[in-house]
Structure 1
Amino acid sequence: MTNKKDFLSSLAEELEGEKKGVSNDDFDIYQAANKKGDELRSYKNLDYDFEQAKKTAPKAAPQPTKTVASEPVKRTAPTPTPAPAARKATLRDGKEPDSFQQEKLQKIEKKPFKLDPKLLVAGIIALLLTGAAIWYFVFAPKIPMPNFVGQTINDVGAWAKQNNIPTSNIIVNTEFSTEFDKDVIITQDKTAGSKIKDTTPLTFVASKGANPDDPIDFPDLMNMNYTEVKDWIETNKLSKTKINTQYNTIVEKDKVINFELKTGTESSFTRGSTLTINISKGAAPAGTVAVENFVGKTIAELEQWATSKKIVVEKTEAYSDTVEAGKIISQGIKVGESLEEGGKLPVVVSKGKAVKIPNFVGYTKEMLEVWAATPENKVTIIKKERYNAAAAGNVIEQSIKAGSAVDSGSVLELTISLYMPQLETNSRAWYGKDYLELVKWVDDANGKGANMAAGAWDGEEASDEYPTPGQIISYRCLDVNGNQLPHGANGCARPLPIDAKIAMKISNGPKTPKATPTPTPE
C-alpha cells in the first residue's frame, strides 16, 4: 500500500526547511477548516487540482472558520492553475492525496509596521545631543593656551603646574638669540588662544642668549667716554665685559683710564671674552681717598699705602687654595670708591692652603705614614702610646678634631694603642725576683693607661729556694673584683685586662737556719 502524506506533514517539512535556510518566498498563508479541526496549510506550486477534489470529495457539514495569524512573508504572483478537466489531482511527489474534506481557504494580510517620522527625528536629535555632551565634558580640550613668547621658562613651568600638566609633556629646545635674553621663550608650537588638554604635548624654543663665540669688533676704548662704552657693551650683549669707576687726578671724568683683556686678544675678541674697563670719576673730593685695587698684592704693600693715605687697615685671615699666604684675597671697599682719611679698609689675607684633618681613629701605622708623606699635609705629629683593646699600632685618639682645617706646621698629637699589658714571657718569669721589680713594672704600665695594682697580698714565708728576703715565691693575676683570671696556673699567662691586680707571696728568709761555724782552736 502506497504511503501518502497529508498536508500537515508537508507543512512540517516546509517549516523545517525554513529553519535550515530554505526560502519561503513563494508561500502564502491560508485559513483552513475541516471537520477534523482547524489546521494551517501552506502550498508551494503544488500540482493539485482543487476543483476536481471538490467534485470527488464527499460533502461535509461546514465547520466554523478559525483565523490563524502569522508573520507576513514575501509574496510572488501565483502560478496559473490548469483547467480542472485537463489535470488530475496530484501532489508534488506524484502521489494522489488521501480523502479531502471540504475546506474554506482565506488569505491573511498583516499590515507592515510604520514608524512615526516625528519620533524618528526626535530620537536622532536626542542621540546627537547626548554624543555632543559626552564629547564636550569628557574629550574636548578645555585649557586655554597662553602666549608665552617673551616670557621665561619659569613662567611656563608655573602655568603647567597650575593646570596639572605633567612636565614630561613639555619639551624646551634652545637656540642662540640676540633678540631675546637667556631663558626667554622665542616660539611655541600651539597657537595662543587655542584649547588644549592636560595630556597635549607642548614644544617651546627658548633663548640661550647671544652666542658667546660671535666675533665682535674691538673699538678704540682709550678714546671713548663712559656713555659710549656702556652703549657698546649693551648693543653687543657683552656679558663678560665690566666697567669699574675710580677716582683719578690725571684722567678726566668719564674717560677710560685703562682696560684689561683677560681672555683672547683685540683682534680675536668675541662676545664671551673677559674684559674689564676702568673709567675715571675725576679727582677725589677734598679729605677723601680713592680706594685702589689691592687684591693679589701683599699685606705689606697695602699697609704702606694705608700709612701714606692715613687709612686704617682691618685685617682678617683665611685659608685659600689659590692665593698664597700673605697676599690679599678680597677687600671690603670697591675699587674707585672714596674713603675719608682715618677710615677703615677691611681686607682678607690668605693663610695659604689649609691642612684638613681627617678622622685618624682606626688608622694603622702604615696608613698614618702614607697620610703624613703627602706634601699638603704639613703638620708636626707627636705620638704617645697607651694600653688599649685596639690592635697594637692603631690610632685611638687625636688632639685636633676630625674635619678641622689647620695651618701648615700645626702640632697634631696622636695616641697609639699598645694593646693590653703583657706580664709574662715564660711561666717562671718573675719567680725569685725582688718583688719591687714587679711593682716598678706595674707603675710603668700604669703610666701608659694600664691602671693596675700589685702587692704582697698573699703574705710572707720562709723559703729555702728563695732565701733572700723580698724574693717572689709565687704570684697570681686577678681581675678588678679580686677573682683569679682563668688563663694559666696563676692567671697571668695572657695579656692582662685594664684594672688587673697582681698578688704576690714573698720570702722573709730561709726556712732552714744556717749552721753556726765551729771555732777553730788556737
Structure 2
Amino acid sequence: MSDFLSKFNKDNYDDMVDEKGQKDQKDVQENNVEKQQEEQLELNQAEYEETEEQVDLSPKQDTSTNTSPLVSSRSTRRQDSEEEVEIDLDYRKKKKQKMIILIAGSVVAAIFLFFIYHMLVHVKLENFVDRPVSEVRAWATENDVEVELEQEYSMEHDANEVILQSVSEGDKIRKGKTLTITSSLGADPDETLPLPEFSEMNQEEARVWIDENKAENLQMVTEFSDDIEEGSFIKLTIKNSDIDPSEYTRKDSAAVYYSKGKEVFEKNITIPDFVGQPKEEVEKWVETNEIEMTYEEADSDSVEAGNIISQSEAAEGKIAKRDKMTVVVSAGKAIVVPNFTELTPDEAAMNYPDLNVTVKQRFHGEVAYGTMISQSVDAGTKLLESDDKNVTVTYSQGRPYLQDFRGQSEGDLPRLFYEQYKSKGADINYIVKYVDSDEIKGTVVGMGNFNEFVAMKYTVEIRISNNKYAPPNPPDFSEEGGDIYPEPDDEEIPEEVPEK
C-alpha cells in the first residue's frame, strides 16, 4: 500500500483512471467471448443429445457381426465427445458471482482511490488564533498552502499575533489554495495616551498601567538611590522635551525611573597598607574598587610630602564597594606662625624668612606706640607647603599727631592727609578758608591748631592765601591760540601796592 501511495499523486490520477477503464473494457470483452463459448457448448450438447436419441430409436443389431463402418464412426465420435466435453451446471452461477465480486471490488477501489486522492490534496486546518504569524507560515509551507496576510491595530492581541483566519478550525483546505489570516499590528502608535502622575504611583502600579495601555515605548528603569525608598518614583523623562505628558502618544520614547533602594555590596575587597606609600597608589586602588575615599592633609617631620601618614581602615581588613575611607597625606614639614606681640616691627620683618611678613603701623587711641595691634594669622598656626604664607602684623603709632602744614601748597594737602593719617587709621580731615595774604595764592598761611596730639577723628581748619594781585585763573588754552598773557590796557593797570 505504501508503494502504491508513493506512486499516486494528483498528476497521474487521470492516467490511472484511464487504465482502469481500459481494464474494465477488456474484462467485458473477455466475458462476451466466454459467453459465446458457453452458448456454443450448449448448442453442441443439444445436438449430441439429439443424435443420441436417433441412435437409440434404430433397430438393434449385433454389434459383433453386423457393425457397419458408419455406426462405428459415430460411436467413435460420441466417445470422443464424452471425453472432451464435461458439462458444469453451476458455471453460470459462479460466473455471475465472479462478476459481482469484480464490480464490487472496482467500486471499493474507486472509493478508496478517491478517498486517498482527497486526503492527499486536502489538509485539515488548525486553530491559529492567538498564535504567532510565523507558526502559520511554517504550517502553510509544510502543507503547500498559500498565505495572504491582512493587518490591523488591536488592543487585545500583541503584534504579529493572529486575530482571524478565513477557514475555521477543523475544516479542510485544498493544497495550493490561499488561506487568508488577519494579524495584529499591536496598539495604535498614534493614539494619544496622557501619562498619569507617576509620582503618586509605586513601581508595581506603574508597571500595571504600562501593560494595560500597551505603552511599549515607555520604559521602566530602576536604579539605586541612597535617598529614595525602594519602589518609589524618581523621575520621568520624555526624549522629545517639547512633548507635554498630557500629549504623549505610544510612539514617543520615554522612561520612568523608580528606586531600587540603597545598593548593598559585600565586604570582599582587601585593604592594602598605604602608610608611607605615594598618594597616587591610593588613587589607583580607589578607582579600581570604587571606594569613596576622603583625603586629608597633615604636616609631618618624618613622612615625605605626598605620601600617606595614616589610614582610617586597618591594612588587610575587608571593605565593600562604595564604602567610605579616609587617608591622611603628608604635606611635609609645617611652619609655625610665631607670636609677634613679643617682637618689634624690625624683628618681625627680618627674623622669619620662611614667612612673607608685612609690617604695618596704624594710629590707635588706646594702644601705646610700638605695641602690636593684630596679626593676620594666629600665633601657633601650622602653615603647610600648599598654604598661603603671607602674614600681616600691625603695630600701633599711638594717638595721631597733627603736624604743621604751613607753607605747603593747597594741592598737596589731600596726599599729605592721606599718607599721614587716613592710611594709618586716623580719620583726620580739614576744611579750607581763603584769606588775603602776601603769600602766593594757594599757599597754606595758617591752621586752626598744629603740632599737637588730636583725637582719632578730628577736623582742622586750613587757611589758604587768596592773593588778589596774582593771576585770578590759569591761562585759557583755547584751540584758536593767541597770547596766553595778553598785555593789559593802560587803564586796567592797578596801582602799585605800597610795601608794608
**TM class, shorter-length:** 0.3 to 0.5
Flag the structure with larger Rg: 2
* Greater share of helix: 2
TM-score with structure 2 setting the length: 0.36
TM-score with structure 1 setting the length: 0.35
